[in-house]
Amino acid sequence: MKQTKLTLLVSLILVLFIAGCAPAPGNPNSSDARLMRVSGTGVIEVEPDIARANIGVRTESPDVEEALTENNAIADAIIQRMMDLGIEERDIQTRDFNLSIRQPDQRRPIEEVEPEEAVEPGEVFVVQNTVSVVVRDFDALGEVLAAAVAEGANTIHGVSFDIEDRAAIAEEARQLAIENAQAKAESIAETAGVALGAIQTIDIDRADRPVARPEIAMERAEFDAVPIAGGTLAVQVSVDITYQID
């Protein structure tokens, strides 16, 4: 009798052990689960509606106070002109301010330098002030850059284009990417003779394509406007979707 009970107990333990090791039905992590992974891409191309530009002023003088005073006066004039053109104060920000000392050129003796190029030996103070400006009226960008140069800006760089409501465009691109992946999955399943099951995972990767950032170097001059071509901005979203297949 004891032997019979022991045999039944061992059998019950073995059944429970086997049941615990068996993969759960529909478990995507089990080795028996059949999965299909597809990728989809959505791209929305739009014309930019805002622009950013870094406007710089560089001044030099053997006298540090003179270099600073001249630089500050030009920078203040540029900022005031930007505001006169409708640029909001919140869209004008000092990006970089730098004071450095340039050593005199010691590569040639002073007597070998042409008289008009001759300088007094000594250090020269260099002041660089860069202001970042956001132009929300995209059509006014050329006029803004021209006005900055007219007020004394001698470097304009980092001109870039963007869209103000980027989140809404990204949402459209994401929807297109999911639809693209879904269409691929349905086509593959039909060709392979299988049925799509539940979605197991969705991975989304947003990557905005870069827009050309032209570098503009300008001499101090007066002119009506700078010709600007913003082109188009493409917002791209990619998704990877894993389906269980039956």
Q: What is the DSSP string of 182-211?
A: HHHHHHHHHHHT--EEEEEEEEEEEEEPP-
In a domain, 34, yes or no: yes
pLDDT at 37: 94
Q: Looking at 6-15, 90-99, 105-114, which range is the least confident one?
A: 6-15
pTM of the model: 0.59
Positive or negative torsion for Cα 102, 107, 111, 116: negative
Percentage of the chain beyond pLDDT 70 is 69
Kindly state whether residues 92 and 147 are assigned to the same domain: yes
pLDDT at 187: 93
How far, in Å, are 66, 67, 158 from residue 129 at the CA level? 15, 11, 14
Burial class of residue 208, CB neighbours in 10 A (0-12, 13-18, 19+)? middle
Q: Are 162 and 66 in contact (CB under 8 A)?
A: no
Kindly state whether residues 36 and 97 are assigned to the same domain: no
Structural domain span for residue 39 = 27-48+165-219+229-246
Q: Where are the alpha helices (DSSP H) in 62-195?
A: 64-84, 141-150, 166-192
Domain containing residue 156: CATH number: 3.30.70.2970
**Widest Cα–Cα separation across the chain:** 123
Q: How many domains are contained in the chain?
A: 2
Kindly state whether residues 120 and 100 are assigned to the same domain: yes
13 has a pLDDT exceeding 90: no
In a domain, 4, yes or no: no
Kindly state whether residues 175 and 110 are assigned to the same domain: no
Question: What is the pLDDT confidence band of residue 66, given thresholds at 50, 70 and 90?
Answer: very high
Kindly state whether residues 42 and 67 are assigned to the same domain: no
Question: What is the pLDDT confidence band of residue 185, given thresholds at 50, 70 and 90?
Answer: very high
Residue 234, strand partner residues: 45
In a domain, 224, yes or no: no
